[in-house]
Amino acid sequence: ILFLLLLPCSSYSTLLGWVESPGYPMGYLPHTSLNWTRCAPKGQTVSIKLIHMDLENSQDCENDAVKISSNGNLIALLCGKRDYEELQESVNPLLFSSAGGCLTLLFHSDYSNTKRHTGFRGFYTLQDFNECEDEQINKCTQFCHNFVGGYYCSCRHGYHLDEDKHTCTVGCAEDLSGLKRGDVSSPSWPGEYAENVNCKYTLSVEDNLQLELHFSEGFDVEQSPEGNCVDELRIETHSETLGPFCGNKPPHSPLLTHSSHIQIHFTSDGSGTNKGFNIHFKTRGNVCRPVTSNSNTTPLKQEYHWGESVTVTCDLGYVASDGLLKRYDTTCQSNGLWAPMYPCEIVDCGWPDLGRGGILQLVNPDDQNTKYGSQIQFYCTSKFYKLEGNDTSTCNADGEWTGMPKCNEVCGMPETSSTGRILGGKAALLGEIPWQLFITTPKFGGASLINDQWAVTAAHVVNDIPKESVQLYGGLIDATTTGTDVSPIPIEKIIVHPSYRGASLQTNYDNDIALIKFTSRVKLGPNLLPICLPEVNRGVMEGEQGTVSGWGAIFQDNSWSRTSDVLQYVDIPVFPVSKCRNTPSLSNKAMTFTNNMFCAGGKGTDSCKGDSGSPFVSPMLSSGIGPHYLIGIVSWGSPCVRGGATGDKKGYYTKVENYVNWINEIKKNEAQS
């Protein structure tokens, strides 16, 4: 049986009544349950006082039990028989909700009882919660007063409640603008200052004057044993904040503020017995201080008067006026300020240019600083590139990164190789000659990759041909895959050596060299790697063994009759210059030999028609020694049909070392354009 009694009481209602087990006092039946909840308004609690309890007893109250909780938190688990005194002393004091919370009682009985138990009965009521006794709720700094449903704070004489309605403080904000002389002190000076103060004093005079502060003896502002300010005094001017000040030593007196308008702030916490401070203020004529922030002033004086000019020089690594000035002149004004005034700020180099392709990258870019003196570290993202220079760069005083490294292509080092010297030529393995490029149209020939955006070939292969007509391929050995499995490399421009006069008469192939620039960087890999350029004036030595490669004509069916489907290469020696000067006749016309050429070959081994533009590299591939260098470009030679497979062969090659400077100059100019 549940009773609910509502009684009027001013502007709120009282909640009270009985809660008891089903069937009380005749006893409860098996499988009986009760779910009871009452909630209190703000500032009050719901409590239960049990006057009777007779339930089946069991371990941990597993059979029959009463569970009482406050806002879901269990506060009592009861079973068995309890007398009235035990309930009053040890149980009832626990049975109340939190302020403004809910109290829930759950009762259940199991399937059987050895005897019939009478159950329980309790009286619930609404009670006021005394917030003043709860330190977690009561935030009053001085007096707390409880009332039904809440509490309020009050203060001692001389204090007032702050806006938070809990903190007691004193009124100490004062505007003393216009006064040229006077005193400012902490509340109750020279007695102990109040707790929880937040004072602000405003002083303001004419612009041509500055305020001068004199501290009285007895300065005493609370300080921690470690030297930190518990309470603090701060002085704010138009350009800076002086302080905080605390302890027993006042600031140097007199304190020149170099300002005609200041605010004095004083704050204290809720404890302490310190006296505070007293400041006598007066005015004097304005002077300018030296400009010292990240700069030096010439001439240097302790103070400057109106009309005096100085030169401000920013410290090393600092610049003024958006980075345009390292030095400027300025004049002291009547208000104690310099004009013009440009703060010297630290140089910022910004993020370095990492170039295209994303190969050069920063180590831990999120942790890098780009200001003067900072260092950043780089790495190359691909194993087919190596870092040139130091991996670390420094931001210098001119706002530039010093020693910026580059990621240069690893050249002349194929990952695939074969062993043994094959005099008569051999089909290449994929990746064995990764710098070899293939030109299919409009002329048949070869080229060499020298970095990820440039190739070099013979001028007569690409001369007077629109770049759109040239089909260039890389990363292959099987010529039959072009246009199907392998796509051509897009070409941006073709640059023929300016001294090449063309070979229309087929008598002079001097300066037979041209550069091909790609539209974008190719992705290097095991099957596509550049060849190294030789040093200038390295010299091509008589008898030097090298490797020439290409898809040109091969000896088949007892004649040189067709081009090869698979890339071929052969190791051949360089001939003496005297033998090279004994040039063959082509189309019954005498050929010209110059210092820009060398010749090489052997019995049945040589480059042939269709190999033009292909590389001659040294050391030879079969030596297993690297890196390999491009020392020659297939240019011209004796007809392949002469001598069959065993006749003496002599091919002529453009001497690349004579054109390294030209190649580098072209690449540099293109990079800057």
Which residues are part of the catalytic machinery? 460, 512, 612
Number of H helices, E strands in the chain: 4, 51
Query: What 3 state SS string does 469-527 have?
Result: HCEEECCCCEHHHECCCECCCCEEEEEECCCCCCCCCCCCCCCCCEEEEECCCCCCECC
Q: Using CA atoms, how far apart are residues 48 and 256, in angstroms rounded to an integer?
A: 70
User: Which residue numbers belong to the known binding site for Ca(2+)?
Assistant: 56, 64, 110, 112, 128, 131, 146, 150, 222, 231, 269, 271
Backbone φ and ψ for 348, nearest 5 degrees, come out as -120, 115
Torsion of CA 155, 157, 163, 164, to 10 degrees: -20
* E runs forming strands in 514-567: 514-518, 545-550, 553-556, 559-563
Residue bearing tokens 């010093």: 402
Question: In this structure, how many other beta carbons lie within 10 angstroms of the beta carbon of residue 438?
Answer: 26
Please measure the distance between the N-terminal and C-terminal CA atoms of the chain and give it in whole angstroms.
97
Q: Using CA atoms, how far apart are residues 418 and 429, in angstroms rounded to an integer?
A: 8
Q: Using CA atoms, how far apart are residues 236 and 242, in angstroms rounded to an integer?
A: 6
At 196, list the tokens: 């929880």
- Comparing C-alpha atoms, which of 196, 201, 70 is closest to residue 140? 196
Residue bearing tokens 């370095």: 352
- Comparing C-alpha atoms, which of 420, 443, 414 is closest to residue 563? 443
| Residue 668, H or E segment | helix 660-672
| Residue 665, H or E segment | helix 660-672
Query: What 3 state SS string does 282-315 have?
Result: EEEECCECCCCCCEEEECCCCCECCCCEEEEEEC
- 259: CB partners within 8 A, 6+ apart: 210, 211, 237, 238, 239, 336
- Comparing C-alpha atoms, which of 530, 498, 529, 534 is closest to residue 514? 498
What residue spans of 17-128 are helical by DSSP H? 84-86
- The distance of Cα 584 from the centroid of its chain, to the nearest Å, equals 66
Q: Using CA atoms, how far apart are residues 243 and 223, in angstroms rounded to an integer?
A: 13
- Comparing C-alpha atoms, which of 231, 216, 232, 221 is closest to residue 183? 216
- Which residue type is seen at 419? T
At 607, list the tokens: 């480059």
Strands across the sheet with 338-339, in order?
A: 295-298, 309-314, 327-332, 338-339
Question: In this structure, how many other beta carbons lie within 10 angstroms of the beta carbon of residue 595?
Answer: 9
Q: Is the peptide bond before 244 cis (omega within 30 degrees of 0)?
A: yes
3-state DSSP assignment of residue 444? coil
Give whole-number Cα distances, 11 to 7, 14, 149, in Å: 11, 10, 11
- Comparing C-alpha atoms, which of 238, 237, 242, 263 is closest to residue 253? 242
Q: Using CA atoms, how far apart are residues 295 and 407, in angstroms rounded to an integer?
A: 39
- 587: CB partners within 8 A, 6+ apart: 506
